[in-house]
Structure 1
């Protein structure tokens, strides 16, 4: 006998859709059953007419703890994730302090336990002292992050020699290296040539040339050293073209974000600080090229770069546009914005699952448990009703940022239920269970 059967829905995986029932024993999916099967279960949940998606895996999130909890913390950020159907959050290391040592990573894991509403995996940062990496890897973070620009010197690898030598030192390690493409020399040159600090100066300080150069440097260094890399968000025509031409040279994947698929630099005129982040928004032509790349399967992962700030911080007046704290919330709206792209026929539902569940689980070493509705996987399941549109609103956001750049937008479906390892945690927009998320690690 099964513990639970979710009956009557259409299961969506990265490889397609099927009208099957999902049988669950304990925390795991036990079987996918044909409509004619008649097994016994302690609980049967009828979701006729709905689609069942695997819980989403957001590969680029800043939960802001420790040290920055006025912006977000483990509880508020994972509450937003649960309400949005993200059942696995991969947290970035840029808190206070940055997660650069095994002790810092262990402390962060301990802080999260018992307080998170969804599962959380942690990403650690590579410091210039590469001797720290061995002990970090013993705790199985889901990635090691390498930064090339716009970060403190202790964490900056700004030359090709820096990047290649770092990858060479890590050769043979079971990890993926996340790389944020950028060019410190352009940042420094722009600060001299554009002292005014307006929006135009901010855009000039992080041009497509810096992104494309960073993408090329990362791929070539990975090709030379045999490294496994993941390139953080790209959003320009030049960056996409560079990725298209070079990606087969190395074991490399790439991501973008929903905000880069919907907004462009003209939107700074009305939204200003609420949309300020890095990389900056590009032109309408860049957005069109990014959407085309999404449709063509060139983008491996869509992640949010959820990076909230307090409302007071975003509302302050700053000497320069670049000084506005960069980042915006996104965890709670990832599914809804991706469903808008499905409605617009930019992607299909299996593409949504591929980019927001299967691929991030696979790339970050979690695909034995996450990323698909299949026997043996965690029973992380979303029930989506495409007969019921939903409206995104600021008032429903659980993040401490207390807003979303998509306020007022209509999504073509409603997320009615969320299951985490077979336990219902969300129903009809409300949390229904105490925090039961776990700290997850790269699977061996």
Structure 2
């Protein structure tokens, strides 16, 4: 007998759709039985007319704890994730302090215990003190993060030589290193040329040239060091072209974000501070190129870069546009934003699962338990009803940011139920039961 049987739904995996009833026991999917086949369960969930997807895995999230909890914390951020169908959050290491040592990583794990509504994997930062790497590896973070621009000196690797030397510290290690493709030399040079503080100056400080050079540098360094890397959010035509030409030389994957697929630099005129983040929004032709790359399968992962700030922080006066705190919320809107792309015909539901579930789970060391609906995998499941539309609204957002750039958008589907390891955690837009999330670590 199953603990739970989800009956009569259409099961969506990265490799396609199929009808089947999902049998769950002890938190795992144990069988997918033919529709109508006799099966007994303590609880039966009717999913007729609905799609059943694996829970989403957001590979780029800033939950802001420790040290920045006025912006977000483990509880509020994972609440937003649960309501958005993100059942696994991969948290970045740029809190206060940055997660740079094994002790800091252990402390962060302890902070999250009994307070997270979904599962959370933690990422560690690569500092200039490379002797810290071995002890960090022992604690099996889902990945490491290496920065090439726009960060404190202790974490800055601004040259090809420094990136290559850092990657050598991971020789033989079964891990992944995320790299944000910036260029400190361009950032420094542009700030010296233009001190006007305008939106245009901000755009010029982080041009497509910087992104493209950062991508090329990351790939060449990874090939030289035989390291596994993940290139963080790209959003320019030149960046896409560089990625498409060079991606085969290294073991590498790439991501973009929903905001980069929908918004352009001209939208700063209407949404201003709420859209300010890095990389900056681009021109229409860049968005077109990014969407084309998405449709062609050149983008491996779509993640949110969920990076909330308080409304007061965003609304305060600043001397320069570049000084506005960078980042926006995204966890609660990842699924609806991707469903909009399905509505528009750019991708299908299996593509959504591939980029937002299967690929991030596999790439970040969780691929034997997350990211697909199959026997032996965690029963992290979403029921989506295509017969009911939904509207994204600021008033419904539970992140401490208190807004979404997608406010007012309509999606031709509704997320009705979310299950985490077989337990229902969300029903009709509300949390069900206490926090049940766990810290997950990289599979050995």
TM-score (norm 1): 1.00
Q: Which residue of 1 aligns with 2:351?
A: 351
Unaligned runs of 5+ in 1: none
Rounded to whole Å, the distance in 1 between the matches of 2:137 and 2:169 is: 13
- 1:75-154 equivalent positions in 2, closer than 5 A: 75-154=75-154
Does structure 1 conserve the Cα–Cα contact (< 8 Å) formed by 2:133 and 2:169?
no
In structure 2, runs of 5+ residues without a counterpart are none
Equivalents in 1 of 2:277, 2:395: separation in Å? Answer: 22
2:237 match: 237
- Aligned equivalents of 1:188, 1:3: Cα separation in 2: 59
CA drift at 1:433: 1.3
Alignment of structure 1 residues 34-433 onto 2, 5 Å? 34-433=34-433
Task: Say if 2:29 is the partner of 1:29.
Answer: yes
TM-score by length of 2: 1.00
Report the CA distance between 1:2 and its aligned residue.
1.1
* Counterpart contact for 2:383–2:416, Cα < 8 Å: yes
Equivalenced residue count is 444
Q: Stretches of 4+ moved more than 3 A in 1?
A: none
Following superposition, the deviation at residue 440 of structure 1 comes to: 0.4
Q: Quick one: distance in 2 between partners of 1:118 and 1:108?
A: 16
**1:197 positional shift:** 1.1
In structure 1, distance between residues paired with 2:255 and 2:228: 15
SS in 2 for 1:20: strand
Matched position secondary structure for 1:9:
strand
Q: Aligned equivalents of 2:128 and 2:277: distance in 1?
A: 25
* Distance in 2 separating the partners of 1:249 and 1:174: 19
| Residue deviations 1:124-182 (CA, integer Å, cap 9, x gap) | 00000000011111110000100000000000001000011111121111110000011
Instruction: Give the CA deviation at 1:35.
Output: 1.3
Looking at structure 1, the residues matched to 212 and 47 of structure 2 have their Cα atoms a distance apart, in angstroms, of 45
SS of residue matched to 2:211 = helix
Cα deviation code 1:359-412 (max 9, x no counterpart): 000000001110000000000000000110100000100100000000000011
User: How far apart, CA to CA, are the structure 1 residues paired with 2:239 and 2:28?
Assistant: 40
Deviations 1:206-254 (A, max 9, x none): 0000000000000011111111000000000000000000001110000
Query: Distance in 2 between the 1:221 and 1:87 partners?
Result: 33
Partner of 2:319, secondary structure, is coil
Q: Tell me the distance in 1 between the aligned counterparts of 2:74 and 2:167.
A: 31
What do the CA deviations read for 1:307-337 (whole angstroms, capped 9, x no partner)? 0000000000100000000000000000000
